[in-house]
Structure 1
């Protein structure tokens, strides 16, 4: 049915662009906010961003800090900075920060950011979080989710968290998981149906555990993971709270989350290894590095070679023989005539 002429006609809507009458103020405060953001001072950065928005949207030029404080988001300390800018045309605090070597380095990083590799950008994105050790309790939670996911993907998948965690450490630098499957062998690993690693990664992404990819091949995945924020007993409520951001006293509606813990981004490596290589790989990736070196030396002294793939006899001519089948780490120790050492005893 045709619409009757003259009715329901549309009119073109245009957005009016306001002039910024406080450009000098907003430019300096925005730069100050960017510096605070690059330093990880997010509360201060947000305070400056809020002030910049208020000044940019104000229909007239601000003539004093006292006048500025009447705007939403501008408190006493930013008001004093506005007085200084209006009086001198600059801000001493910003000049001092711009001369600081650390600030110069951060500014250079910002300028060069587009030239960084994907791997480097991820590292910079989560730099401060990656520098934080992972407590054992958090490692246990990550391990639990990963093991549950393995069972969901395929009940025969085997996964062990290696490194210092397996050796009993109270904290770890990252989470390193070694995977295998009885059907994932040297002979079958390239077959489409044996691509267990990609299936596990996709399942962990669906759960929201993996947040960023660094690199992925057919046998090794490197990425970033994060536990969901702990909300088990959290009771969220909104209240008015005075925050001192850069000494700024301002009323701001904030989320107060009782007993809610903010989780950090963590580095995660997943590696799949053929089933027949699994126990040599488990021994190797558990470490420690020095323990591995000592064990390889003992193996050579006793006529064997040992690496992350297999243990093989070495003839008198130095020719390496066929891999010896092992079904546990204990088998490797026994083969080399060594007393078995549990992972906790390998912290050399």
Structure 2
């Protein structure tokens, strides 16, 4: 293993996944955002730890890892699991809700309502479409296709098609597909694209709907088949590259040119990488999000956004070792 790869490998990934699963449960089923954030904070801290955690005591010494979470980590290290995790996985209600939320548009709250109405499976849903919204019906209609992973080669062709169509309409458009695709994944669950236009900036209001213009062109060529939602800055829908291929979930987000590189960084992910980088930014006296990088005054007030001309510039300003997208899964 090279020295570079050893620096980026998360040797505690199983612990992080364990904590994130508990955190997602707290968010989705108990609506406890405080505990959800605590688990995520601990997972982010552990992901940065360069060596394998071997004990509860060692975990407790890390920033963001409290007593209760460190105790759970100790049990996980000794047994490879945790009673709370096993209880979650065995619960009939939790398993039903987990299955129902596989349908796009159905979140835990809606799944809980459906469970109380006697729905126990995807097949049950097909017989009770009257309980669903129009978006959820689309999710159910394409359920089998949405479950299929999208090959990298197909996303690459879709990206090229959208870029070609948008630039043909107006050469000032720029497009990039982010998410796990940009991190180098061979298959992805959906397509997450960022669109910008050189004449669209955050400090120059416009009534020109740059996103809608592109969506209309993509509908004309039958690449976009269904619209779930379309606003000024975000499109959610369904696409199909060729008739013999599955229907795919696609999101396109319009971002002002001056926010483009912060947006690319944020929407490339991963979540844990973003958390670590935002925490580092605060240590360096900046606040970083999908919109901007801003210096923070001594009294905690963010200043004007730093003018950013590349993604790497953000790393340089923060004195944060640059990681290629393929190195950002941890």
Q: TM-score, normalised by structure 2?
A: 0.62
Partner of residue 203, structure 1: 217
Partner of residue 325, structure 2: 343
1:316 Cα offset (Å): 1.3
CA distance in 1, matches of 2:193, 2:327: 20
Given candidates 144, 151, 158, the residue that maps to 1:128 is 144
Cα separation, partners in 2 of 1:104 and 1:290, compared to 1, 3 Å: closer
Partner of residue 58, structure 2: none
Give deviations 1:47-92, integer Å, cap 9, x for gaps: xxxxxxxxxxxxxxxxxxxxxxxxxxxxxxxxxxxxxxxxxxxxxx
Given candidates 168, 175, 185, the residue that maps to 2:201 is 185
CA contact (8 A) 2:225 2:239 kept: yes
CA distance in 1, matches of 2:179, 2:147: 17
Greater share of helix residues, 1 or 2? 2
Alignment of 1:139 with 2:155, yes or no, is yes
What's the secondary structure of 1:214's corresponding residue? strand
Residues 40-79 of structure 1 correspond to what in structure 2 (within 5 A)?
none
CA distance in 1, matches of 2:229, 2:275: 28
Give deviations 1:224-252, integer Å, cap 9, x for gaps: 000123xxxxxxxxxxxxxxxxxxxxxxx
What's the secondary structure of 2:308's corresponding residue? coil
Given candidates 241, 260, 269, the residue that maps to 1:287 is 269
CA contact (8 A) 2:119 2:125 kept: no
Given candidates 161, 168, 177, the residue that maps to 1:161 is 177
Given candidates 249, 268, 292, the residue that maps to 1:267 is 249
Q: Which runs of 5+ in 1 are unaligned?
A: 1-101, 230-261
Partner of residue 128, structure 2: 112
Residues 224-239 of structure 1 correspond to what in structure 2 (within 5 A)?
224-229=238-243
Alignment of 1:296 with 2:268, yes or no, is no
Residues 76-115 of structure 1 correspond to what in structure 2 (within 5 A)?
105=121, 108-115=124-131
Give deviations 1:168-197, integer Å, cap 9, x for gaps: 1100111111011111111334x233x110
Given candidates 186, 189, 205, the residue that maps to 1:170 is 186
Q: TM-score, normalised by structure 1?
A: 0.59
Report the structure number with the largest CA radius of gyration. 1
1:321 Cα offset (Å): 1.1
CA distance in 2, matches of 1:325, 1:129: 42
CA distance in 2, matches of 1:312, 1:287: 20
